[in-house]
Structures are given as C-alpha cells and as structure tokens.
A and B are shown apart, each in its own frame.
Chain A
Amino acid sequence: MIGEEGASDASSIGSADGVPRRAAEPGSPRKKRDDRDCACLAPSAVERRANYIIIGLAVFMVVAVGVSLMLGRYPIAPDEAVRMLLGKVFPLDQTWTAQQETLFFNVRLPRIMLALMVGCCLSAAGAAFQGTFQNPLASPDILGASQGAAFGAAVAILAGSGAFAVSMSAFGFSLVAVLLVLLVSGRAKGNRVLVTVLAGVMISMLFQAGVSFTKLVADPTDDLPAITYWLMGSLTGAKLDTNLLMTSVPMAIGLAVLFALRWRINILTMGDDEAATMGIDARRLRLVVILAATLVTAASVSVSGMIGWVGLIIPHLCRMVVGANYRKLMPASMLMGASFLLIVDNISRLATTAEIPVGILTAFVGAPFFLYLITRKKQQ
C-alpha cells in the first residue's frame, strides 16, 4: 500500500532530524531499570537546597522565639523558659521568680504564640489563594475575609461586647463574607476564577461600607477609637485564654488541610480544564482549598485585627528561595510567615514606648519590599 510506504518514509525523515526516540524498550533488563532509578530518584540540587532552606527556616523560627523571650523590659532566658514550661508537668526546683513566671505565662508566651500562629496562617492562606486563583497578587483577604471580619468586630464593639464576643463576631462575619462570595460566583456566568475574584472585591466593598457606617454612628470617645485600633491590627490582646485556644482549633484544621493538599494546588495552577483531564475535580478542590484558607484567615483576623501584606509577600519571598512547587512552598511559607510576624511584632512592641500596631509596621515593611521585588525581577 502506498499509504504505509509513505508513513515509513516520513519516519525516516523524522529520525534524520534527530527526532526523539524511546531510549529503552519496555522489556529492558531489570538491572538497567534499577540503575536508572538511582539517577532519577536522587533529589536535584534545587530540591536539596529547598529542603535545607526549610530546615533552616524551622531553626530560624526556634532561634527567633528564643530571642523574642529575651527582648523586653523583663527578659526571660530561653533555658529559664524551657524550665518553666517543664515545671508545669514535672516537679522541678523553682529557679525563677513568681514575677517571671507570671510574665512568661500571661504576657510573653501567649504573645509569641499568637504571632507565630497568625503569621503562619496568613502566609499559608496567601500561598494557597495565589495558587488556586493562578494569580500572584492574591492575598488572604482577596475573598473579603478581612473586611467581613472588620465589620463583625465593629458591630460587636458598637454593641459594647467584650473581647471574646468581638473575636467571635469577627470570625463569624468573615466566614459569612466568603460564603457570600462563593454563593455569588456559583451563580455567575463566565470565567469562574475571574468571577470569584470580582465577587470578592464587591463583597469586600460592601462590608467596607458597613464598617464606615459603624464608625459614623459609633460613640467618638469610646467605640470609635476601639474600632479604629482594631482595624490597625495588633497582637496586644494575646492572653492564654479560651479565646486563643478556640482560634487555634480552626487554625490547626485549616493548616492541616492546606498542608495535605499542597501538591494538588500545583495542578490547580494549570487551570481547571487541564486539572480535570488529569483526574482532579478542580471546582471541588478549589472549594476545599478556599474554605481551608478562609478558616485560617478568619481565625487570624478575629484575634489580631487586620494585618496586611504578610500573606502577599511571604509566599513570594519563599518562591524565590525554594521554587514554585507547593510541596516545598507551603511549609516554607508557613515557617517564614511565623518568623516574620514574630520579628515585626517584636519591633512593634519595643521600637517605641507606646506600641505601634503591627498591621501598620507590616505595611511599612511590606510595601517597599514588594516594590523592591518587582523591580528586581525586571532587571533579570
């Protein structure tokens, strides 16, 4: 047949051009296959470097915690701190003063824990959103979580509630805002990713208007400063109480889900259709990732107020050092975010006698740093 001849001829044209051919037949000897495994399964230099960096970030976080304990008007030595912690469980000789113990358990420890938790959550949520929306500019509040929380907190402050009720209200409204966004985007036509982000912007604006209104009607001597201060974002409220424990539960759940799904977020960044042909139900996965990221964001915002920039810049910084693969990026973002917020919070409580809200500082650090990042990239 002419057809077959034509085909074989074409193949020879192909091979002359250096066409890729299979290196090995399927039934190649077992030994050869084993040799090849060694070559392909050894982690590359990039991968090894990423692993070292993640270990380095973990060590750095521990060091940062130690240093943070010593910073402040009443320093606590890290070994003292460890002994105080162990003393809660084992009977130890008390080598520390009662004042030190009070300070450690009621002030320093909760504050450090909160900084680590919030930093970790915001960075993880930011990284997750940047992946699910295939948008490097996404941040944890892209779907209105922060504005929803702000509105919830403002309403609770207006109603004269205590700190616990303010947190719960913020948490609740934060979830409501994001659920509204998902509801709207589920009904809208067109590019799902784009529609979701647009709905997020709109719902954010709606809640922002609500916040403005509560400010307008708030008592200017009492409630208004409280609302304004809450909006600035601060970790001063940290106490080892039910509030902290209750926020740590949704945080832990959300972080665990994001960590477990980190490899799948890679596939989402290729787009829904491609993900679907690779066996991933992109819509369902995106929903799960959004819910997990929202859970940690809402929990963070409800206890710390609005702390911007962490969730945007930390994943970018991590991407520069460990690469784009979410298997490495997610743990790196969590660790670096925790250390970052801890360090910035140290500056916030120590730089001046009256504390500067940490939300202001992260913006001061974050915005110029981000500008540096994007201009640096252009030069390459």
Chain B
Amino acid sequence: MSIEISNLGFSYGKREILHDVSISIPDATLVNVLGPNGVGKSTLFRCILCLNSDFTGTILVNGKNVKDLSVRERSREISYIPQSHAPVYDYEVLDVVLMSTGTDLGMLRSPGPRQARKAYEALERIGIAHLAKRTYTQISGGEQQLVLVARALAQDAKTIIMDEPTSALDYGNTVRVLSCVRQLAREGLSIVQSTHQPDQAFLYSDKTLVLHQGRVHAFGDPKDVITNELVSTIYGVNVEVNSLYGDKVRVCVPVQEIA
C-alpha cells in the first residue's frame, strides 16, 4: 500500500545521513532505490521499518504514522526481506516461513494448522512449495531469497521492503527473484527495493528513486530518471544509456570500455 514520507531526516550522531527526504509511493508500485554505497538506502529502509526510530519528519504507511504503531501493528503493515543469510541453526523451509505468521497470535501461542496453511500458500504463490520440507541452509541462495519473499507474503502486509535482495545472487537467480517481485507488485503489493544495478531499474521498477548525498536526487519513471548525466554524477563513472529492442529495454554501458 502507500507510503508517504515527508521531510525525513536522520543522523548518526553528528553525521547526517538523510536530509529532507520527501516522497510518495502509491499503491501497487514497484520502486527501485538507486544510489552509491553509504548514501543512506539502508538507513531510509530502517526508518520506514522504524528500526531507526529517532528520525525527524513523518513516515505514513497506509495512512498510519509508523512511530505511533506498536511493533506488532507495524508488522501487519510492512514486511521486510533482508539479504539472504545463513541462520545459525538448520530450520525447515516451512518453519522459516511460519516465523512471520505470528502477528495475530497470543504471546504464549504457537502457530497452528491455520498458520501452516498460510505459510504453505505463500510458498505456492511464489512457486516453491516443493521446497517446504527441505532444510533452509541446504537450498541455493536464490531459493533462500525466494523463501524470504514467501515469508514476507505470509505476513499479510501490503508493503514489502527489500534491501538489496539480489546482491549475493547469480544472474539466473537474480532474474528469478526480481520477476517474482515484479509479479507481486502487479498483484497489488507496494514493494520498495534497493539495487546497485541501474539496468535492473529499467526492467524491474515502476518508479526509480535516486538518493545522492542524503537527498532525493530524482524520483520518477526510470526512463526519465536514469540518464547519462545522472549515472555519471552519482556513481562517478561515465556511461552511455542505450536502448534495445525498440526501447523496450535500456542498458548502461561504461563509456571508457567502448571508446
């Protein structure tokens, strides 16, 4: 669902990370956040998720101020997909998905058949139901990432935040995860994800947000936003944006390699 950010600012001590960030993300939109390392992409996400709660400005998710919500209420509005990482212990895939289904359970209760069904349906929706009984640490990195997507779905939140979901994945898995995510956005979810690949933004985003020096540098249609000048400015690399297949796809090519 919608996210409204107005005048967001955040500092670590004296170091200002985000300054006056204001954006509005409508329903059913896939947003890609671009920006160099350390520009504050993760910080922005952590503020939206209220993991960094001492920010200035306001963040409304589905019209509700995130600061006013309890941890549990917030988890019903937004879910989070971290980079796939190995947990310390070997859980079954279904158990990993089940972890997010406790948002409406009493403190001392464990999930029952209803939650198991929800978790299983989430896996089916992503198309990986066959992994349900496998050990999470023994499936591939791409599959792990898809399991985390399923986990976010099972949480029933309408907004999903993904922090560099594909940075550790190979090409095939990257494509699989991103198309799955885009499909979910078409089905009505709002998804905000960050990436290091401008090319990905052309294929897998409705809107692109560019952060530069802690501010919103640009926000809009990726074809309008990602230009030669912009990539040169924020990454310090001269590129040429080229269009392929009658402008169905665009790619960025570093100029120095083709000169």
Say if the beta carbon of B236 comes within 8 Å of chain A: no
Instruction: Give the residues in chain A near B223, CB-CB below 8 Å.
Output: 2-3, 6
Q: How many residues belonging to B are interface residues under a CB distance threshold of 8 Å?
A: 59
Interchain CB contact under 8 A, B90 and A324: yes
CB-CB under 8 A from A215, the residues of chain B are: none
User: What mask results when residues 121 to 138 of chain B are scored 1 for a CB within 8 Å of chain A, else 0?
Assistant: 000111111001100000
Residues on the B chain within 8 Å of A324, using CB: 89-91
Residue in contact with A24 in the complex, picked from B49, B100, B111, B124, CB distance below 8 Å: B124
Binds A, one of B57-65, B80-88, B189-197: B80-88
A10 to chain B, nearest CB (A): 5
Whether A23 sits at the interface, judged by CB under 8 Å, is: yes
B29 at the A interface (CB under 8 A): no
Is the Cβ of A20 less than 8 Å from the Cβ of B88? no
When distances are taken between beta carbons in the complex, the residues of chain B under 8 Å from A6 are: 202-203, 223, 247-249
Residues of A within 8 A of B247 (CB): 2, 6
| Contact among A18, A36, A134, A260 with B124 in the assembled complex (CB-CB below 8 Å) | A36
A24 and chain B: residue at smallest CB distance: B124
Determine whether A242 belongs to the interface, using a CB cutoff of 8 Å to chain B: no
Q: Which residues of A contact B95 (CB under 8 A)?
A: 266, 325
Chain B's closest residue to A5 (CB) is B248
Whether the Cβ atoms of A11 and B49 lie closer than 8 Å is: no
Q: Which residues of B contact A261 (CB under 8 A)?
A: 107-108
Band of interface residues on A: 35 or more
Inter-chain contacts of B75 with A (CB < 8 A):
276-280
- Distance (Å) between the CB of A162 and the closest chain B CB? 38
The reply to whether A11 and B113 contact each other, CB–CB distance below 8 Å, is: no
CB nearest neighbor in A for B245: A9
Q: Give the residues in chain A near B164, CB-CB below 8 Å.
A: none
Question: Would you give the shortest CB distance from A266 to chain B, in whole angstroms?
Answer: 6
Contact of A20 among B71, B113, B128 (CB under 8 A): B128
How far apart sit A15 and B182, CA to CA, in the bound complex (Å)?
A: 12
Q: Which residues of B contact A135 (CB under 8 A)?
A: 88
CB pair B133–A46 under 8 Å, yes or no, is yes
Collect the chain B residues with CB atoms within 8 Å of residue A134's CB.
88
- Tell yes or no: A378 within 8 A of B by CB: no
B23 lies within 8 A of chain A by Cβ: no
In the complex, A23→B108 CA distance in Å? 34
Binary contact track B64-106/A, C-beta < 8 Å → 1, others 0: 0000000110111011101000011111100100011011000
- Give the Cβ gap from A322 to chain B, nearest Cβ, in Å: 11
- Interface: B167 (CB within 8 A): no
Is the beta-carbon distance between A22 and B127 smaller than 8 angstroms?
yes
Residue of B102, B110, B132, B245 near A327 (CB, 8 A) is: B110
Which of A9, A136, A274 has the most chain B CB atoms closer than 10 A to its own CB? A274
B92:A325 contact, CB within 8 angstroms: yes
Known: A6-B248, A280-B102. A17 touches B176 (CB 8 A): yes
The reply to whether B49 and A277 form a contact with Cβ atoms under 8 Å apart is: yes
CB distance from B246 to the nearest CB of A (A): 8
Q: In whole angstroms, what is the CA distance A9 to B78 when docked?
A: 29
A355 within 8 A of B: no
Known pairs A5-B248, A9-B248, A324-B90; list 5 more (Cβ under 8 Å): A6-B248, A10-B249, A14-B176, A270-B99, A280-B102
| B residues adjacent to A (C-beta < 8 A) | 46, 49, 51, 71-72, 74-76, 78-80, 82, 87-92, 95, 99-100, 102-103, 107-108, 110-111, 113, 116-117, 120, 124-129, 132-133, 146, 151, 155, 172, 175-176, 179-180, 182-183, 202-204, 206, 221, 223, 245, 247-249
| A residues apposed to B, CB below 8 Å | 2-3, 5-7, 9-11, 13-15, 17-24, 36-37, 40-41, 44-46, 131, 134-136, 260-264, 266-267, 269-270, 273-274, 276-281, 319, 323-325, 327
Contacts A/B (CB < 8 Å), 7 sampled:
A19-B183, A20-B176, A22-B126, A44-B133, A273-B49, A273-B82, A319-B89
